[in-house]
Copies of this chain bind each other. A is one copy, B any other.
Amino acid sequence: MKALIMAGGIGTRFWPLSRKNMPKQFLCITGDKSMLQMTVERVCRTIDINDVYIVTAQSQTELVHQHLPNLPVQNIIIEPFGMNTAPCIGLSLAYLKDKMEGNESLLVLPSDHVIKDTQGFLNSLKLAEKPAADGNLVTFGIVPDYPATGYGYIEAGGQIAEGVYRVAKFKEKPDFETAKTFLQQGNYYWNSGMFFWKFNVIWQAFAEYLPQVMSILQEIIGMWQKDGEPADLKDVYAKMPKIPIDIGIMEKAEKRVVIPVNYGWSDVGSWKALAEISPADENGNFLPKRHFALDAKDNYVRSDKFVSLIGVENLCVIETDDALLITAKDRSEDVKKVVDALTATKQDDLL
């Protein structure tokens, strides 16, 4: 079994901590290890580090080295630029083609999610082996605990084994009312973007459902096989359709199953989401060690300084060397708009 971890995200949602040269997966925001390090550690409970591959951007390879010094250099797959998950996974499959057996399992994971219950995660991988061996594309669906409108959903159909269900349908991000009915019906799960499949099954799926991508992948393999200079993939990779694998393959495939999981997952998609999984004091505050709080509750503050809060609640406050963000917790997704504004006004020092 091998693992492929996607670590090319640019992560604007954690500005001002995340920057162009320091995306979310390299931040130590949930502890003293980066999200990438924690993802790899989790995977390495069952997969050897030599069988872990990281697909990332050229500009981030040095960071990957720093965060994962034990990872073999050749296990870093470089995407010329971000083109969404189908091209990214396709490129990785092309890279792995001569390194994997056709019936070898491949686990595909994002690098910037939190999973609290590692044993639950490992159990879910065990559950995935049989359906994957039977030729299914396996997805992991998060048991929802509130009617989220920010995720796609997977509707589970008939059970085919203990804890394993046929996928009835992939659902786009719903409106709030629809999300509530999903929650009530009980057989809808958040699409986590984690996959498990046999190499030849997903390779065949690319050929069948994304022939255009497969043809580019074959071209790339040909370039790699040529002697001489390392191949420059930019021009050929640019021809890829910018398509997520969910839409490009998962929604079309016939043999696909979902394994519902409930192991304390979070995609940590905003400062608010991070606040929710961070330890808080008796007033719901997450504060630097040195602080003074008076009538302050449910605030999330990151700063190296002495922080004093008086009469404020539900704020996210992030201070870095050059920037200070203060946002209402419920508005923390709008941090993207700060980054947009900085980009539009070319304030590169803050990006």
A-to-B contact residues, CB < 8 Å: 16, 290, 292, 294-295, 303, 305-312, 315, 317, 319-328, 330-332, 334-335, 337-338, 341-342, 347, 350
Contacts and interface: CB of A to CB of B under 8 A. Distances in A.
A312 B327 contact: yes
Query: 7 shortest A-B CB distances, which residue pairs?
Result: A311-B328, A311-B331, A310-B327, A306-B323, A308-B325, A310-B331, A308-B338
A331 B295 CA distance: 10
A334 B311 contact: yes
Contacts of A295: 331
Contacts of A325: 307-308, 310
B292 A310 contact: no
Given A341-B292, A342-B292, A350-B306, A326 B334 contact: no
Contact of A324 (B306, B328, B341, B347): B306
Main SS class of interface, A: mixed
Contact of A334 (B305, B310, B341, B342): B310
Contacts of A311: 327-328, 330-331, 334
Contact of A303 (B309, B324, B337, B347): B324
22 contacts: A290-B347, A292-B337, A294-B334, A294-B338, A303-B324, A305-B321, A306-B323, A306-B350, A308-B324, A308-B327, A308-B335, A309-B327, A310-B325, A310-B328, A310-B332, A310-B337, A311-B331, A311-B334, A312-B327, A317-B324, A319-B319, A326-B326
Given A303-B324, A312-B326, A312-B327, 12 more contacts: A16-B306, A292-B337, A292-B341, A305-B321, A306-B323, A308-B324, A308-B338, A310-B335, A310-B338, A315-B326, A319-B324, A326-B326
